[in-house]
Every structure is written in C-alpha cells, then in structure tokens.
Amino acid sequence: MKKEFFKYAIPSALAMFISSLYTLIDGIFVGQGVGDSALAAVNIVVPFTVMLFGLASMFAIGGGALVSKNIGANNIEKAINIFRQVFKSLLIVSLIISVICVIFTKQIVTMLGATETLTSLSVDYLRFYALFCIPNLIGIVLNSFVRNDGRPKLAMISTISG
C-alpha cells in the first residue's frame, strides 16, 4: 500500500513543485525583462487565473472520481461517456470564458483592481492569457485523467514538459 501511495505522491509533488517554479521564473523574466509595471499587471490578473485553475480542477477531480468509480465497477461505457461529457463541458466553458475575457478585458481588470497606470498592461496580459485559456484548462484536466488512469509518471512528465 505504501509503495502505491509513493508511486502517485512523488510524481504529483514533483509536478506541483515544477508548476510553482514556472510562476517564479515567469515573475523573474517579466520583472527583469519588461519592468515593475508589467510584473504588477501580471499580479493583477493572477487571481483570475487561479480561479480558472480552480474551475479546471473541479472538472478534473469531479469527473475523475466518477470515471474511476465506473471503471472500478467495470462499467467502462459509462466511464467513457462521463469522460466525454467532462471534456465537452470544459471545452464549452473555456471557450465562453475566452470570449468573455477578450470582449470585456478592460472591465475585468478594473474589477480586479487595476489602476490607470496598470490597466493597459493588465488588459494585454489577460487577452493573451484568454487566447490560451482553452488548451491550458484542457491540459490541467487531461493531466488529472492520465494520473487517474494509473500513469502518474506520464502526468508528471506532461506537466514538466509544459
């Protein structure tokens, strides 16, 4: 039992560490390369990106639990249907979020607290983030499904190679 636990825990922890390292390195590059205002603009948008990560995690954990339960009950067809529903729902939701973010970018960053100085940089950052919202959220969910499918190392490799 311990061996199985560590088979999942170590790759998952390493992937989470690397993901956190992405954020740190991004901050260094933005701060050094573009400047303090750009780093502040990124930090204005971060709560929104965290909310999107939470949304993707909700799909991944809820859908993953249902798929795993049905695979365990040898109800493969139902598990496949649930996976398809989760994937389609996430695709639709992330497309809607992307469109909303592109159309209402200025209003969103204003609600997040952007000052006049940071608004234009925050708008630029959120627009680019919104364009890649769909593959980002799908990647988070698929990574979780791969882990649930008994391949924690592959999930870790996909996170690190991202």
Choose between 162 and 61: higher pLDDT.
61
Res 90: pLDDT: 92
How confident is the model over 88-92, as a mean pLDDT?
A: 94
113: left (phi over 0), alpha (psi -120 to 50) or beta: left
* Predicted TM-score (pTM) of this structure: 0.81
pLDDT at 111: 94
Nearest 5°: the CA angle 139, 3, 144 is 10
User: CA dist 116 to 7, 41, 83, 104, 127, Å?
Assistant: 49, 11, 44, 16, 17
Tokens (6 digits) for 157: 């490799």
By the 8 A CB rule, do 2 and 142 touch? no
Residues making up the chain, counted from first to last: 162
Q: Which amino acid appears at position 151 of this protein?
A: R
Q: What is the mean pLDDT of residues 141-150?
A: 83
Query: Which tokens in the block code for residue 96?
Result: 């809607």
Please report the pLDDT score of residue 2 as a whole number. 82
Angle between helix 76-103 and helix 133-148 axes, rounded to 10 deg: 160
As a whole number of angstroms, the distance between CA 127 and CA 56 comes to 19
The one-letter code for the residue type at 110 is T
* pLDDT band at 82; cut points 50, 70, 90: very high
For the CA atoms of 73, 158, 58, 128, the dihedral, rounded to the nearest 10 degrees, stands at: -150
Checking if the pLDDT of 57 tops 80, the result is yes
156 pLDDT tier (thresholds 50, 70, 90): confident
Per-residue pLDDT tens for 11-55?
Answer: 888 878 887 887 788 778 888 888 888 889 989 998 998 899 899
* pLDDT for residue 162: 60
pLDDT tier at 80, thresholds 50, 70, 90:
very high
Per the listing, tokens 């956190």 go with: 20
